[in-house]
Copies of this chain bind each other. A is one copy, B any other.
Amino acid sequence: MHKGRLKTLFTAVAGLFAGLLLAYSILSQINPEAAGGLKASKEGVSEDVVDAALKTYVPPGQLDEYYLFASGGHSGQLFVFGVPSMRRIRSIPVFNKESAVGYGWTTDTKEMLGDFDWGDAHHPALSETKGDYDGRWLFINDNANSRVARVNLDSFTTQQILGPVPNIYGPHGSVFLTPNSEYFMMASRFAGPIPYGTYSDIDNFKEDYKGVMAAIAVDPKDGNMSVGWELLLPPWSYDLSDAGKGVSDGWCFLTTYNTEEAYHLLEVESSQRERDYIVAINWKMLEQAAKDGKVKDIGGAKVIDPNDVPGSVYLVPCAKSPHGVDVTPDGKYFVGNGKLSPTVTVFSFEKFMECVNNKDFQGEERGFPIVNYEKTRVAEVEVGLGPLHTQFDDQGNAYTSLFVESAVAKWSLSDFKVSDKTQVHYCPGHLTAAEGDTVNPDGKYLVSLNKLAKDKYLSVGPSHPESMQLIDLTSSKMKVLYDSPVDPEPHFAQMIKADKIKTFEVYPKDETIEGAVYAKEDARVVRDGNNVTVYMMGFRSRYYPDTVEINEGDHVTWYLTNTDFDEDITHGFGIMFYDINCEAQPGQTQKLEFVADKAGVYPYYCTNFCSALHQEMQGYLLVKPKS
């Protein structure tokens, strides 16, 4: 920055703070409650608080620095926030119906949702190239129906749902991508008889119930997902996973609990052992095995029995019921978060490989070698109570959420010592740092995804919001900058630098699109027996045609093209009493299908405010009765 400009800015800033100071003191004396916000604070306002206010305020005309993508949990959605303002910019329907955009109503999206009106969206994963977010796609799992979805980041819309993926009951521990988005793993949280639909009594748990991990392949051209191959595993609960990178590329890691193989009273019975495992899997070896045909078909998937591929799976002992497993940015360490132990355990991938290569095992279970714990582990960091997840910054620090302690611990990857701790409110699950899952984290910001809000926000009744807290990482002590309420329930989030995402604003005109109509002369209603096709065009502020006459019982296919090729000019389309709504974004063509099973007169109208004459954008669907 030029020195002269700097000086001017400095002077301006000095002046404005002096002015503000005066304004503030006057306001305080007149009526300390009158102004709202920080200025209405009756308690002493600390410097930190003012600092936080200024650091999180994004002035009109400027944009946030990062996108934060947070899963919506059992709402099935994906929430998009801006950082540092923590404003929620968009909710993207993924596993849920969303009438505002017609998601679950248009032919495409209805097919995509299939038999399910909900999903349990857990862990979003931004696509990566060479271990860095590339801003192309976001993948997210559905723990309830064993599915996974792809959101395209040029349009912020869900473009594919894959699943139910065969044989995986509750793929909680996904999506965690390999460094070039070749694959992500989905491992079963619940053991169950496979394929789906198989009945076996619960007392046959140890024999008939299986754990399974699927490797989902991602097409590097278009992000298309397909089931690559699957791996049979013991009937344990697989909790979370992470993919190796750098030196550990080619491996992935799963945490386990309930290696006790209990199937009743889990909150007691599954926590008996002092240690469960991190399962280390050589996915490149398994990929080759699948290519070599060492698979059998179960439920339509190519399933590998690990006994057929010796050396592909190892067990690493870890403090009991570990929750998250997180690979450091350089790929040298993998970290197990204790959950029921006050430690994170740091394992060296190099040491792990030494044990593997030297067959330095301390036993085996279910046929899998257990590597030497003492040699593989390089540190047990005493972080505090209830460690769940760890993220990383650009300075060689790690940050671990402490659920029970309601805190975040900062510790060093050099000396494995805790250097700072900050309280969060309350009960953090995941954390996410700026570009925190890449090989080059940014530091700067950390967001704590807290499970309980209690009294932090205006009460909205017995169901409280979840709470995300933005934490400043730019100085040696962490500082909580902002409390952001959120709908249920972000389990995980990722943060990407804003300039990495390139969106488009208008759908291009393309005469080859099924049903598209770009001129009002081409708008028409075509009948073929009792199949009626409406080719409709919407343009500020009219539908062509604005009257459609059909017969009761007709099968109707209705195309709508929005020919306003203008930024932000979206038209809605709702038909009264027919439970139909969608929107057509600028240039977009939508397709709806329904049976005209109700006779009478049904107004249709633009449901998305589009112009001064929006209210006039309407028409009538007349359905002539049969008799």
Contacts and interface: CB of A to CB of B under 8 A. Distances in A.
B607 A73 contact: yes
Contacts of A91: 487
Q: Which of A37, A86, A489: most chain B Cβ within 10 A?
A: A37
A465 B600 CA distance: 35
A601 interface: yes
A199 B501 CA distance: 51
Given A458-B498, A616-B267, A601 B193 contact: yes
Contacts of A74: 99-100, 572, 574, 581, 583, 607-608
Interface string A360-394: 00000000000000000000000000100000000
Contacts of A498: 458
Given A38-B54, A169-B576, A488 B608 contact: yes
Contacts of A58: 37-38
A586 B462 contact: yes
Interface size class of A (residues with CB under 8 A): 35 or more
* Listed residue (A6, A24, A52, A59) with the most chain B CB atoms within 10 angstroms of its CB: A59
A461 B154 contact: yes
A363 B478 CA distance: 74
A176 interface: no
Contacts of A474: 34-35
A395 interface: no
Nearest to A205: B620
Given A44-B9, A568-B452, A579 B457 contact: no
Interface in A416-432: 425, 427, 429
Nearest to A191: B603
Contacts of A23: 51
A202 B617 contact: no
Interface string A608-627: 11101101111010111100
Nearest to A618: B266
B607 A120 contact: yes
A114 B192 CA distance: 36
Contacts of A49: 57, 59
Given A91-B487, A507-B462, A617 B267 contact: yes
B57 A463 contact: no
A90 B603 contact: no
A484 to B, nearest CB: 6
A263 B267 CA distance: 65
Given A54-B38, A542-B265, A202 B547 contact: yes
19 contacts: A16-B46, A37-B57, A38-B58, A41-B62, A53-B53, A73-B608, A82-B458, A87-B484, A89-B465, A144-B607, A190-B605, A193-B600, A209-B601, A264-B547, A266-B616, A339-B612, A451-B610, A462-B504, A463-B585
A562 to B, nearest CB: 10
Q: Which of A445, A463, A577 neighbours the largest number of chain B CB atoms within 10 Å of its CB? A: A463
A579 to B, nearest CB: 5
A539 B76 CA distance: 24
A318 to B, nearest CB: 15
Contacts of A568: 452-454, 464
Contact of A28 (B6, B87, B489): B6
Interface stretch (A63-71, A219-227, A245-253, A407-415): A63-71
A489 B610 CA distance: 11
A457 B89 contact: yes
A200 interface: yes
A453 B599 CA distance: 40
Contacts of A80: 460
A220 to B, nearest CB: 22
A127 interface: no
Counting chain B CB atoms within 10 Å of each CB, the highest count among A20, A46, A209, A271 belongs to A20
B62 A237 contact: no
Nearest to A499: B458
Nearest to A588: B462
Interface string A68-101: 0000111110001011111111110000111111
A498 B29 CA distance: 23
Given A13-B21, A612-B339, A145 B577 contact: yes
Interface in A116-172: 116-120, 144-146, 154-157, 164, 169-170, 172
Interface string A325-364: 0000000000000011000000000000000000000000
B52 A458 contact: no
Q: Counting chain B CB atoms within 10 Å of each CB, which of A32, A41, A612 scores highest?
A: A612
Contacts of A82: 457-458, 485
A501 B460 CA distance: 9
Given A202-B547, A485-B87, A576-B145, A8 B44 contact: yes
Closest 9 pairs (CB-CB, A-B): A99-B118, A53-B57, A75-B100, A16-B47, A190-B603, A156-B461, A155-B461, A36-B84, A74-B607
Nearest to A404: B612
A19 interface: yes
